[in-house]
Structures are given as C-alpha cells and as structure tokens.
C-alpha cells in the first residue's frame, strides 16, 4: 500500500518502529539518562576498585536503557541491578 503525496509521487506508509528508545517520550529519555549516569558511576567505581561485579553491572546499566521501550521497565531493571550489586558476592 502506498500513499499519494503532493506532486504525484508514491511513498510507502510510515511504519511504527517499536524497537528501542522512543525519542519523543521525555520521561523515557530522562530515565535513560539518569540510569545510564548511575551505571557509568558504578562502572568507574568498579574499575578503580578492580571489582568485576561493579564493572559488569555498571556496563549493563549504561547500555540497557537504549533497548527498553518503557519507563517502568527501565526503573524496575535498574532496581534489580542495584539489588544485585548489593546482594551478589563481591567479584574481586
């Protein structure tokens, strides 16, 4: 199915891309920024201390917000990562 645009040209209809971060959602952008910054801080701390658990969780928290399309899911995953940081044995 195509749509006719002014000038007589045919163009395919816009498709809804549901993968990844929705850049029009301010809450999702702000949540991703905050969680990514927390992840970067945990990563830097782990790198300075030589703690592989902190390095892994910090990398994960810095990367996953780009692939989660929901604010609630972003914060739930962040809470799970922080709980894992506290509950898992040290990776030194």
Span 47-76, pLDDT tens digits: 999 999 999 999 999 999 999 989 999 999
Confidence band of 18 (pLDDT split at 50, 70, 90): low
> What is the predicted pLDDT for the residue at 62?
95
Mean pLDDT across 4-24: 63
Which is nearest to 64 in space by CA: 84, 88, 49?
A: 84
Average pLDDT over residues 67-87: 94
Which burial class, exposed, middle or buried, applies to 33 when counting CB atoms under 10 A from its CB (0-12, 13-18, 19+)?
exposed
Tell if the pTM clears 0.85, that is, is over it.
no
Instruction: Tokens for 4, please give them.
Output: 């006719």
């Amino acid at each position: 199915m195509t749509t006719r645009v002014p000038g007589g040209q045919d163009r395919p209809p816009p498709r809804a891309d549901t993968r990844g971060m929705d850049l029009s959602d301010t809450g999702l952008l702000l949540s991703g920024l905050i969680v990514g910054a927390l992840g970067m801080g945990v990563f830097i701390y782990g790198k300075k201390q030589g703690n592989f658990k902190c390095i892994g969780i910090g990398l994960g928290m810095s990367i996953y917000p780009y692939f989660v399309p929901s604010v609630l899911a972003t914060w739930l995953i962040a809470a799970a990562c922080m709980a894992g940081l506290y509950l898992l044995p040290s990776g030194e």
